[in-house]
């Protein structure tokens, strides 16, 4: 089977869908890989490394049987795909209705990495987790860049510096990685989430669990949190306004699938923080967890720096691509038969669950609802 790897075109997208190390393994299993010239360059992966690994570097990435991308294709790119094309990528099924519509209209069989069911068998394909890990790690470093303090306790001849106090709100994949990273750097870390299973995970990383009453045990479907009621939201904001006061760094990662990010930090809570504190809001793409967040910007409000990076995983393109490529390789494994030929078995829950468009139709329920809810031209990102 032939797999094409185009160069990513979205501004700031420095990742690439397959890396040479993975291409080598795929070539050994008789996959043919064609890479658009320069596709790996933003991730420091040169064309020569792809050639050495067994890929062809040249034209034809868009016309391969399967096209593997990171970001969703633009409308010009979708026009380059043939009607029988299979596409893999972060396609934003719940947030990019225009992309979904264009893929369906183009007859493309599209698999969204976000829609892969989060079941044990699909763990190796879980790109949401692999990229959240990268973002969680980087968020801690980003906070450090904007903070005039050390993370660890330092005992020096000039006196002792106390450790920084870090609070992580939302302890899913990104949050737990942020907690682990801040701990490694010597900070005193607390973590918070509405799901009850999380307290133990936070504590197993050597952090304290911040126990709040509001929204406690707000489990939703599929291991995710549910959206809180208006009353719960108000109570949570008010408890957090008190709790947040003593922290130097607050990293927020709270999300509810398909919904705007929950507002955890009210403007008043920012006002109550110590001057020089830093908030890194990883939920900016969904509107932000802090009322004063400006997505994609660094702003200073009430002497607190609020950083809202977008597509943070793309700022660590080498390892982010390497992890993503392994997720893609694993997904490709369920899209082929024993002879390595393309074989889409829609009785397989991974194949069926990840597919968003097929035979000119939108076949993913969430994607269909998102297109029905938004008129043409309604993409959120």
Residues that are catalytic: 118, 123, 126, 129, 224
In angstroms, what is the minimal distance from the CB of 122 to ligand NAD? 6
Residue closer to ligand NAD, measured from CB, 61 or 255: 255
Spatial distance between the Cα atoms of 339 and 329, rounded to a whole number of angstroms: 16
Question: Measured from the CB atom, is 40 or 136 closer to ligand NAD?
Answer: 136
Distance of CA 124 to the CA centre of its chain: 15
Contact 129, 135 (CB under 8 A): no
Nearer to ligand NAD, 19 or 173 (CB): 173
Residue with tokens 């879980």: 126
Answer for the pair 57, 51: CB distance below 8 angstroms, yes or no: yes
Q: Please report, for residues 57, 109, 326, the alpha-carbon distance to residue 27 in angstroms, rounded to integers and kept in the order given.
A: 14, 24, 14
Q: Which CB atom, from 49 or from 113, has the smaller least distance to ligand NAD? A: 113
Q: How far is the CB of 267 from ligand NAD (least distance, A)?
A: 17
Nearest-approach distance from CB 312 to ligand NAD, in angstroms:
13
227-to-163, 241, 261, 323 alpha-carbon distances in Å: 34, 19, 9, 30
Angle ∠(292,129,89) on CA atoms, nearest 5: 95
Question: Considering beta carbons, is residue 212 or 344 the nearer one to ligand NAD?
Answer: 212
Cβ contacts of residue 32 below 8 Å, gap of 6+? 1, 2, 3, 56, 64
* Residue nearer to ligand NAD on the CB measure, 81 or 264: 264
Shortest Å, Cβ 332 to ligand NAD:
18
Q: Do 177 and 188 contact (CB within 8 A), yes or no?
A: no
Tell me how far, at minimum, the Cβ of 324 lies from ligand NAD, in Å.
Answer: 15
Residue 155 φ then ψ, to 5°: -110, 110
Q: Which residue is nearest to ligand NAD (CB)?
A: 172
Backbone φ and ψ of 35, nearest 5°: -115, 130
The binding site for ligand NAD (CB under 6 A) comprises: 118, 123, 126, 128-129, 132, 169-175, 193-195, 215, 223-225, 228, 253-257, 262, 264
Q: Which residues have C-beta within 8 Å of that of residue 179, sequence separation ≥ 6?
A: 166, 168, 171, 189, 191, 202, 205, 207
CB of 307 to ligand NAD, least distance (A): 18
């Amino acid at each position: 089977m032939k797999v094409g790897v185009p160069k990513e075109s979205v501004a700031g997208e420095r990742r690439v869908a397959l890396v040479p190390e993975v291409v080598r393994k795929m070539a050994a299993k008789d996959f043919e890989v064609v890479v658009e010239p320069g596709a790996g360059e933003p991730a420091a992966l040169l064309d020569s490394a792809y050639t050495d690994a067994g890929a062809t570097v040249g034209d034809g990435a868009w016309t391969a049987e399967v096209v593997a991308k990171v970001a969703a294709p633009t409308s010009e790119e979708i026009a380059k795909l043939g009607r029988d094309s299979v596409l893999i990528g972060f396609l934003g099924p719940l947030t990019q209705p225009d992309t979904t519509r264009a893929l369906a209209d183009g007859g493309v069989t599209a698999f969204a990495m976000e829609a892969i069911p989060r079941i044990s068998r699909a763990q190796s394909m879980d790109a949401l987790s692999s990229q959240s890990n990268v973002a969680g790690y980087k968020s801690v470093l980003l906070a450090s860049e904007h903070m005039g303090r050390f993370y660890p306790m330092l005992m020096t001849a000039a006196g002792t510096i106390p450790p920084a106090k870090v609070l992580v709100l939302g302890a899913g994949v990104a949050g737990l990685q942020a907690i682990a990273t801040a701990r490694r750097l010597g900070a005193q870390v607390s973590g918070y989430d509405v799901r009850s299973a999380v307290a133990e995970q936070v504590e197993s990383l050597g952090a304290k669990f911040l126990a709040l009453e509001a929204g406690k045990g707000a489990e939703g479907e599929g291991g995710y949190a549910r959206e809180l009621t208006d009353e719960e939201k108000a109570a949570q904001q008010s408890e957090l306004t008190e709790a947040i006061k003593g922290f130097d760094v607050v990293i927020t990662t709270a999300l509810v699938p398909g919904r705007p990010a929950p507002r955890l930090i009210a403007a008043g809570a920012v006002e109550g923080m110590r001057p020089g504190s830093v908030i890194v809001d990883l939920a900016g793409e969904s509107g932000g967890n802090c009322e004063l967040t400006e997505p994609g910007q660094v702003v200073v409000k009430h002497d607190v720096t609020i950083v809202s990076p977008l597509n943070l995983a793309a700022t660590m393109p080498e390892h982010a691509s390497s992890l993503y490529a392994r997720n893609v390789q694993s997904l490709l494994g369920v899209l082929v038969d024993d002879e390595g030929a393309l074989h889409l078995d829609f009785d397989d829950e991974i194949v069926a669950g990840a597919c968003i468009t097929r035979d000119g139709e939108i076949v993913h329920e969430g994607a269909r609802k998102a297109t029905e809810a938004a008129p043409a031209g309604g993409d959120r990102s």
